[in-house]
A and B are shown apart, each in its own frame.
Chain A
Amino acid sequence: MKKIVFGLIAIIALGQSVHADMEDDPLVTIFIMDRLEILDNDENTRVWEGSFWIGYDINKLYLYSEGEATSGGLESSQNELVYSRAIAAFWDAQIGVAYDKNDDASKTWGEIAISGLAPYYFETRAALLVNGEGNVGLRLEAEYEALLTQKLILTPSLEADLYTKDDPDMHIGSGLSNLEAGLRLRYEFIREFAPYIGITWEKTFGNTRDYHPIDETSVMVGVRFWF
């Protein structure tokens, strides 16, 4: 894992050394905690979803992390570390590794992804994952920001995960594994800080449903912040 991280950093540094003296393209970082929320369910599930990137206009290194915890501790998380390169005006191609963990198992994947702003302003990301056991996964996300006012923003979102094989340890079944839809309403006191309320619906399908049956709608409160 460490090797991969340093490898990716080296790629970025290399890509940049050519333009080292440039003023137009400074090194920029951002940490966004997009979701940090508590669901109003039996376990009071705590959910986070955030990302960090460091890089330049064209080349960036991304770290994505999302997961949930209950009073019993960490339940599951998905983490990705990818090298991201702008390949079109609105689109980045990404390559790297993903690391999934739940309470009793973990799995590492190789990953390629496309991320960007689709027409009609949909923030989208599609990631294709492959692991050592030959399982192939597809993770899709889309999000839209509807401005009710300049500061009150409604964000519908949709996520879907699909896999080619069963992986009981990871609670993954082949086919459509799970769907998650959310609707969050945040108020940006400043751009960098916005508390929100929302509602989320999650359902597992197929064999996933046998390993980990979920069909739940919850309301939540949370906070979004970045720096």
Chain B
Amino acid sequence: MRRRTFVKGLAVTSLLTLTTTDAEARTRSKQLNNRNILTGNEFFLDIDYTPVNITGKNAVATTINGQIPGPTLAWREGETVTLHVTNHLKKTSSIHWHGIILPTGMDGVPGLSFDGIAPGETFTYTFKVQQHGTYWYHSHSGFQEQTGVYGTIVIKPRKKEPFAYDKDYVVLLSDWSDEKPDTIYKKLKQMSHYYNFSQRTVGTFLDEVKEKGFSNAFSDRKMWNQMRMNDRDLSDVTGYTYTFLMNGKNPATQFKALFNKGEKIRLRFVNAAAMTFFDVRIPGLKMTVVAADGNHVKPVSIEEFRIGVAETFDVIVEPTVHKAYAIFAQSIDRSGYAMGSLTPKTSMLVKAPAMDPKPVLIHTDMGMDMAQMDHGEGMKCGSGMMMSSKKGLKKDKYVKMESQRYPITQLPMKHGLHTTMKALSPKYRLDDPGVGLRNNGRKVLTYADLKNRYSTRKARKPDREIILHLTGNMERYMWSINGIKYADSKPLAFHYGERIRITFINDTMMNHPMHLHGMWSDLETGDDNHLVRKHTVVVQPGAKISYRVTVDARGAWAYHCHMLYHMAGMFRKVVVA
């Protein structure tokens, strides 16, 4: 039995070797409290193989400066940074600065922005930093990101930020496997449910029969069975092979963030996982979300948030009791968790809270039968009445989003081999916390809660719209956009200077975090005067979502799902001319 909740070996150190980094760049920032922060304007990053022991077994990682995660890069808004990246691997490598606005040649996508960094070579990136906040960087070559090539970027704003805090920590989440990523991918192709040990059983069905009678239970299953869709299909790759990490530490070695009672602590969450969505909470503490994907949002107080692969959220917490709190990040399928302690002293550690029940997908997640979900929402605990009236209001706003009409540019669409499902009535579900978080009794962040801190009233209206369907064939493990995989696709042509509205329809049962390089994604969350600015937008299963992009960067850009094993197919090249 190889299945483990979080990790097999307990007394393990996260890294066997910590190579020395450039002395010049090792000055520690006063404000940020994590180790291994590089500051200044010139950085030296070395990508190399490093022996590690994360699970109790020896393995070889690909690392930046010998560590997982790579060093946090502290930049300053308005300054020019120069980064010398040397590839010591036997294969081509690259670094992509995720969410950073820069010239296409500096974006670090082999084949699109440059040729990649050949073994033994150094590539020097240099660009002016035009933004601030929490971002991250990672390899854009092969599956190197899975094996450790990722780190955080923290950009100090030029102007004082509109919120105060005493301490500042990066909380980077990731997933580690001792299996080679090529092996994982091959297994998914051989048997797509290989890593899923939360499937329906005969007992599940018998329970349903007991609950609602045979004919009801059978007819409820009918559509799933006919479509050959699995309502337990939450993660392709699970805790069966993954150990979930927080700042490179497993739940046994624990990341520790120190606080003094009464202090305000800023936590910069980064999801650098290859395939894992995390549901994050700090039991006993409310979190105030102040930024999403690096950009300030109107502060919103919540108890839990789901962070998609490649997203970042900055939250502020105020621990008022002298005790250790768990920073608890369970994987979306509840096959494991990453955990650290927010604690007054390093000797005070927390035990992991119990994981929530394993989520089950419903018809809503297939893009149908909204009525069922409304019932669910209506039953929301406590403030039921409030919720439903508020919901009514929000619904109207979505109607407004639905009724927006811009000239639509038709794109090729193929049904068949690559598409096993079609969302029949995809809806904007911005206030849907998503499968596994609905009605859980906690205030869970949704996209509907995200409002740009600053007015976007003056932002241009879109000139035109494109609709992209996220498609896949889970059985064969093939992913695509509009039923056409990247290798068979033509680039998307964006016109320099235009403002384009992009609407995604998710024709699959999985969340897809869609990332457009080089340009901001101004997400419609219900209030056009406060479009929230993101670089990665999660499209929920069976749902629809729209955002606007000001096309202000010439060149070739990558546009893709950030799930590492979806990416090769669910990818488009965008050409701005």
Interface residues of A (CB under 8 A from B): 19, 22-26, 28, 30, 57-58, 86-90, 117, 119-121, 146-151, 154, 189-191, 226
Contact = CB atoms under 8 A, between A and B. Distances in A.
Given A147-B199, A148-B202, A117 B485 contact: no
B179 to A, nearest CB: 13
Interface string B42-64: 00000000000000000000000
A57 B476 contact: yes
Contact of A121 (B2, B203, B225): B225
B34 interface: no
B31 interface: no
B487 A24 contact: yes
B330 interface: no
Contact of B186 (A19, A28, A88): A28
Nearest to A21: B487
Contacts of B194: 191
A150 B198 contact: yes
Interface in B543-577: 568-569
A88 B182 CA distance: 26
B199 A28 contact: no
A90 B226 CA distance: 12
B197 A150 contact: yes
A89 B417 contact: yes
Contact of B475 (A24, A26, A89, A146): A89
Contacts of A87: 417
A132 B306 CA distance: 64
A26 B228 contact: no
A148 B206 CA distance: 11
Given A90-B475, A120-B226, A24 B201 contact: no
Contacts of A90: 228, 420, 475
A120 B191 CA distance: 18
Contacts of A26: 182, 185-186, 189
A119 B417 contact: no
Interface of B: 1-2, 142, 182, 185-186, 189-191, 194, 197-203, 225-228, 416-420, 473, 475-476, 478-479, 485-487, 568-569
Nearest 10 Cβ contacts at the A-B interface: A24-B568, A147-B201, A24-B569, A119-B226, A120-B225, A150-B197, A22-B487, A89-B420, A23-B568, A28-B189
13 contacts: A26-B186, A30-B190, A57-B189, A88-B416, A89-B416, A89-B473, A117-B228, A120-B226, A147-B202, A150-B198, A151-B197, A191-B191, A226-B190
B204 to A, nearest CB: 9
Contacts of B416: 88-89
Contacts of A30: 190
B22 to A, nearest CB: 33
Contacts of A121: 225, 228
A86 B476 CA distance: 10
Contacts of A23: 142, 568
A89 B199 contact: no
Nearest to A147: B201
Given A121-B225, A147-B202, 16 more contacts: A23-B142, A24-B485, A25-B487, A26-B182, A26-B185, A86-B476, A89-B416, A89-B419, A89-B476, A120-B226, A149-B203, A150-B198, A150-B201, A151-B197, A191-B191, A191-B194
B452 to A, nearest CB: 35
A58 B475 contact: no
B487 A19 contact: yes
Contacts of B420: 89-90
Contact of A117 (B1, B197, B475, B478): B475
A191 B1 CA distance: 10
A56 B526 CA distance: 44
A36 to B, nearest CB: 19
A58 B487 contact: no
A146 B201 CA distance: 7
B569 A86 contact: no
A24 B476 CA distance: 12
A113 B191 CA distance: 22
Contacts of B199: 147, 150
Which residue, A28, A148, A151, A189, has most C-beta atoms of chain B within 10 A?
A: A28
B2 A119 contact: no
Contacts of A86: 417, 476
B189 A149 contact: no
A23 B569 CA distance: 9
Contacts of B225: 119-121
A161 B322 CA distance: 75
Given A24-B569, A190-B2, A119 B228 contact: yes
B429 to A, nearest CB: 25
Contacts of A58: 417
Contacts of A24: 478-479, 485-487, 568-569
Which residue, A22, A23, A121, A146, has most C-beta atoms of chain B within 10 A?
A: A23
B485 to A, nearest CB: 6
Contact of A146 (B1, B190, B198, B202): B202
Given A90-B475, A147-B200, A148-B203, A22 B568 contact: yes
A120 B2 CA distance: 30
A19 to B, nearest CB: 5
A171 to B, nearest CB: 36
A189 B476 CA distance: 24
A191 B199 CA distance: 14
Nearest to B419: A89
Which residue, A24, A57, A191, A226, has most C-beta atoms of chain B within 10 A?
A: A24
A19 B203 CA distance: 44
Nearest to B194: A191
Contacts of A226: 190
A120 B1 CA distance: 29
Nearest to B568: A24
A148 B202 CA distance: 5
Contacts of A148: 201-203
Nearest to B201: A147
A5 to B, nearest CB: 23
B518 to A, nearest CB: 22
A88 B417 contact: yes
B175 to A, nearest CB: 19
B5 to A, nearest CB: 15
B322 to A, nearest CB: 43
A21 to B, nearest CB: 8
Which residue, B199, B200, B202, has most C-beta atoms of chain A within 10 A?
A: B202
B190 A28 contact: yes
A48 B498 CA distance: 64
A41 B365 CA distance: 51
A25 B569 CA distance: 9
A190 B240 CA distance: 11
A56 to B, nearest CB: 9
A24 B228 CA distance: 23
A73 B336 CA distance: 51
Nearest to A56: B189
A25 B225 CA distance: 28
Contacts of B2: 190
Nearest to A53: B190
A190 B197 CA distance: 11
Contacts of A147: 199-202
